[in-house]
Amino acid sequence: MRHFLDLAAPTAAGLRAILDEAHARKAARKGLPKGLPDADAPLDGHTLALIFEKPSTRTRFSFAQAIRQLGGSAITVSAGEMQLGRGEPVDDTARVLSRMVDAIMLRANSHATLETLANAASVPVINGLTDISHPCQILADILTFEEHSGRQVAGSTWAYLGDGNNIANSLVEAASVLGFDLRLGVPHGHDPDSAVMATACARGGSVDLVRSAEAAVEGADVVVTDTWISMGQEDSKAKLAAMQPFQVDAALMARANPSAVFLHCLPAHRGEEVTEEVIDGPASLVWDEAENRLHAQKAVLLWCLERL
């Protein structure tokens, strides 16, 4: 069963195949109306369940449109509308849905819920964000860098600034599998997940924790940040104060490679993790990045259903 739960489990060849498919499919359907299926409609007749325990704009729309462009259809529900919200066990839910749909995407509060669902499901399960990781987002980020720079991600240098959250964890996994350098500019006490870091380091990944924003971005090809307070986290003045030196502003971007690009998964908080000047400026690729969720996830769906 090819579940897509994180970026550490698939091989480098598997992730490369997903990225190559995403580039090719995006190019092939240029100019088509957004709701029209790709010419080969490879998932004709297939159904994808989209389940959300937390809010979403990009993940919801991009997955619904992804399965449609592959020839299939989506059933989208919030977990609160399901018996899941009244305490029906996750594994029973997995067994029932596996009889009715061809794949399940879950956005979960806890990564453990996603793992329970995957263990009991007999169809592929896809991570649409948990407290631990957001693998689909980072595939879209890599796709965006590659299409903009015209080079493959291996050998490039990325800087991540701010909170060591789900986005940071998935970047750590991607760097160690796909072979790019990652410098994490994060304040003490807000490090990425220790198990994720340990696995990446054991794999020989070039992943460094630095405590200075300037040192993190020096000569980087890509500068990435994310919200300082993630969904489900408590808003805290102390945390915001600790994050302030890691705000991405124009002076910080000037220390990166002159052709460096800026990425943010969105939603953004202008004036907190990034200034308006940077996110709305010429180095920012955030709108391409958001669109690329769609293209990346089409390839993820094909990989999960063993069409790649």
- Give the closest residue to 96 by CA, choosing from 126, 117, 68, 115: 117
Of 265, 295, 297, 304, the active-site residue reads: 265
Q: Which is nearer to ligand CP, 200 or 286 (CB)?
A: 286
Shortest Cβ 302–ligand CP spacing (Å): 20
Applying CB under 6 A, does 62 fall inside the site for ligand NVA?
A: no
Q: Which is nearer to ligand NVA, 108 or 253 (CB)?
A: 108
265 counts as catalytic: yes
x-or-dash pattern for ligand NVA, window 149-188, by CB under 6 A?
----------------xxx---------------------
Choose which of 8, 103, 129, 196 interacts with ligand CP (CB under 6 A). Answer: 129
x-or-dash pattern for ligand NVA, window 114-153, by CB under 6 A?
---------------x------------------------
| Burial grade of 2 (CB within 10 A; 0-12, 13-18, 19 or more) | middle
226 counts as catalytic: yes
Shortest Cβ 140–ligand CP spacing (Å): 8
The phi and psi torsions of 284 (rounded to 5 degrees) equal -80, 130
Q: Which is nearer to ligand NVA, 98 or 130 (CB)?
A: 130
Applying CB under 6 A, does 266 fall inside the site for ligand CP?
A: yes
Applying CB under 6 A, does 233 fall inside the site for ligand CP?
A: no
Of 107, 111, 183, 264, the active-site residue reads: 107
Of 137, 193, 264, 304, the active-site residue reads: 137
107 counts as catalytic: yes
Applying CB under 6 A, does 264 fall inside the site for ligand CP?
A: no
136 counts as catalytic: no
137 counts as catalytic: yes
Q: Which is nearer to ligand NVA, 121 or 129 (CB)?
A: 129
Q: DSSP states of the chain as a string? A: ---B--SSSS-HHHHHHHHHHHHHHHHHTTTS-TTSPPTT-TTTT-EEEEEESS--SHHHHHHHHHHHHTT-EEEEEEGGGSGGGGT--HHHHHHHHHTT-SEEEEE-SSHHHHHHHHHH-SS-EEES--SS--HHHHHHHHHHHHHHHSS-STT-EEEEES--SHHHHHHHHHHHHHT-EEEEE--TT-PPPHHHHHHHHHTT--EEEES-HHHHHTT-SEEEE--SS-TTSPP-HHHHHHHGGG-B-HHHHTTS-TT-EEEE-S---BTTTB-HHHHTSTTB-HHHHHHHHHHHHHHHHHHHTT--
Applying CB under 6 A, does 265 fall inside the site for ligand CP?
A: yes
Which residues form the interface with ligand NVA (CB under 6 A)? 129, 165-167, 226-227, 230-231, 265
Residues that bind ligand CP (CB under 6 A): 56-59, 129, 137, 265-266
